[in-house]
Amino acid sequence: MKPPDSAPPVLEMRSVEAAYGPFRALFGVSLHVGEGEAVGILGANGAGKTAVARVASGLVPPNAGAVHIGGVDMSGENAYKFARAGVAHAPEGRSVLATFTVRENLELSFRRALGRRGVKSGLDRAFDFFPRLGERRNQIAGTLSGGEQRMLSLARVLVEEPRLLIADELSLGLAPIIIDEVYRILESIRGAGTSLLIIEQHVTYAQNLCDRIVLMDHGQLDWVGPAQQAGDALAARLFSPNSPRQ
């Protein structure tokens, strides 16, 4: 599954196994994301999608196998070292400071990442990417809509122009019109040079953005191929007479 060129992929997971305490979540997972590439991971709840995201960002160490970032073995390193290597993780849910304003949420993140002098440029860039946040800069974050909170969580991690953005279920619970906007933003982020690992349940959104799709089932890779073939591959599995979902 290595890319055809000689440049190391932004992310490469080699035969990774991982667990949450006694519960094994991943079994021999190998995948990669190349420079400028967008890869989607699809699967039912409990398939192991979020476990891949957490291992790829250093939040969960692998029990076996290896995780490489830009060709460097990062297996077992702390999450902050993954962040320093250019990995940004937008987790499932609305990870914002609910009692702070939009601007205060961003300023706290940017001051930590860029220093005091970098806050203004960080805010300018965030509001360019997310004009809706600029309109609501003085609004309390907890009063934003679900889609706006997802945008804010994205804006907080994008200021450092990561090499790889791991976006976990950003569409979950959102209206289609808001999902469309979130995915337009992801396309812009990719256009600016960031590679994407998209954890998703909706095949159409993933197909429209990604180059390749990975289907997961019970902690294992079930299928890997071009994005436009993912719908047929998923349907074949759902309606197979041997499918455990029947």
pLDDT digits (tens, 9 = 90+) for 19-55: 998 899 999 999 999 999 999 999 988 899 999 999 9
Q: Any idea which fold 11-93+163-238 has?
A: Rossmann fold (3.40.50)
Q: Percent of the chain beyond pLDDT 90? A: 54
Q: Does the structure show a pLDDT above 50 at 3? A: no
Mean of the per-residue pLDDT values for the chain?
88
What's the gap between Cα 237 and its chain centre? 25
Q: Residue 245 — pLDDT band, cuts 50, 70, 90?
A: very low
Amino acid of residue 32:
H
pLDDT digits (tens, 9 = 90+) for 107-118: 988 888 788 888
